[in-house]
Amino acid sequence: VKTAILISGRGSNMVALLEAARAPGFPAEIALVLANKADAGGLALAAAAGVPTAVVESRPFGRDRAAHEAAVQAVLEAHGIRLVCLAGYMRLLTPFLVGRWAGRMLNIHPSLLPAFPGLDTHARALAAGVRLHGCTVHWVTEEMDAGPILAQAAVPVLPGDTEAALAARVLAQEHRIYPEALRVAAGGAAAHPDHSAALTNPLP
């Protein structure tokens, strides 16, 4: 399954996906890494791994999210992409892109959803005093960080934890569960409950 990874930053989850996808028989082929920022660190890592990259800067579009998404959509279509993984893509999506990719778009979020959607999840987990924190891979729907859950991993919050220490503990689990979730989704072993045929249907 031709898969694109969308990033905005360092791309450590992207690297984990690229490495997993190299395994023989892995059902997803990472055919494109697309960033909405030209200075996203992950772009160089993708290029070094021999993966095609594209930049569709969001800044020039300002508040016109729909126009930016149309440009992103055109690049995805040009590359024949059938599945999209958001990996640190720091851009809220509109119903345009979400609708186009219903059942064919995954996201990784650094909390045990439905707890702590949105930003600053590790600081908020520490402030709330939760004893368990973690990460979630979910299908992307219109509501942010709220789609059907594909995979989760929990980590303990330890006494004296800093935000950085907790983030690192969670990130190690992100790098484990995102490739696994992609394998399951691309292989057809798990589907969005409302769009179960999305990956096998022709592109809309």
Residues in 90-149 at the binding interface with ligand GRF, rule: CB under 6 A: 108-110
Task: Give the range of 12-20, 71-79, 140-148, 154-162 binding ligand GRF by CB under 6 A.
Answer: 12-20
The reply to whether 13 sits in an annotated binding site is yes
| Residue 122 bears catalytic tag | no
Q: Which is nearer to ligand GRF, 44 or 74 (CB)?
A: 44
Residue nearest to ligand GRF (CB): 88
> Does 192 contact ligand GRF by CB under 6 A?
no
Q: Which is nearer to ligand GRF, 69 or 174 (CB)?
A: 174
Q: Nearest to residue 72, comparing CAs of 50, 96, 88?
A: 96
Which is the catalytic residue, given 68, 79, 109, 122? 109
Task: Give the range of 4-12, 66-74, 124-132, 154-162 binding ligand GRF by CB under 6 A.
Answer: 4-12
Handedness of CA 145, 165, 16, 89 (dihedral sign): positive
Transcribe 38-85 into DSSP letters: TT-THHHHHHHTT--EEE--SGGGTT-HHHHHHHHHHHHHHTT--EEE
Q: Nearest to residue 57, comparing CAs of 46, 71, 47?
A: 71
Only one residue has tokens 């059902």, namely 27
Residue 58 near residue 37, CB atoms below 8 Å: yes
Measured distance CA(115)–CA(60) in Å, rounded: 33
Q: Where are the alpha helices (DSSP H) in the chain?
A: 12-21, 42-48, 65-78, 95-100, 121-128, 163-186
Q: Which is nearer to ligand GRF, 88 or 103 (CB)?
A: 88
Task: Give the range of 3-11, 21-29, 31-39, 92-100 binding ligand GRF by CB under 6 A.
Answer: 3-11
Residue 133 near residue 170, CB atoms below 8 Å: yes
The reply to whether 196 sits in an annotated binding site is no
The reply to whether 183 sits in an annotated binding site is no
> Does 69 contact ligand GRF by CB under 6 A?
no
Q: Which is nearer to ligand GRF, 78 or 126 (CB)?
A: 126
Measured distance CA(186)–CA(165) in Å, rounded: 32
- Annotated binding residues: 11-13, 65, 90-93, 107
Note the residues at the interface with ligand GRF (CB under 6 A): 7, 9-14, 87-88, 108-110, 171, 174
| Active site positions, annotated | 109
